[in-house]
Chains A and B, each alone.
Chain A
């Protein structure tokens, strides 16, 4: 079955540590996205990538980094510079261009807790 996988489901981090969240898709989508979700604040875009080896900052990129070395993978690193990293992180993907309707498909999410 095609879809988006995120791992791990739950992640615990000590303050001052960097941590990397995994996102993989087998939908052959060009674009991938990372969102942060906090209660009552909806989804906020962290980074997105529309093509391999290229990515753009979203609305809240500070303290995060990404890479896009393969079409199917878009890992997110939460660095120690992120002041309040405890949140639910969602990865998504979509088709770009042509007949795209901008529909994004989401993974199951990773809940990060800083201890």
Chain B
């Protein structure tokens, strides 16, 4: 199975600040994604991280709020900008292999006060 690591694993932040989450995947992964899981809820796709170009955002998510970078095949960052308590969630990096299996990282648990 693909190995996906994220950091930080958790953080407590003040409203109005920003947090950058890093994701590292192994070489089996061809596509990278960022998902959000709000407390007790299911998962929602934020965006597809495209190597060397702008991410593809889903409806309801915008680049100014969630800037994403993917400078190479195996690394991506998600920034949660100008945070509010409503941004308190688990943010998960995900990677898909050539065999269509899609794996998830351990998640970053964010609490905004």
Interaction A to B: no
A residues near B (Cβ < 8 Å) are: none
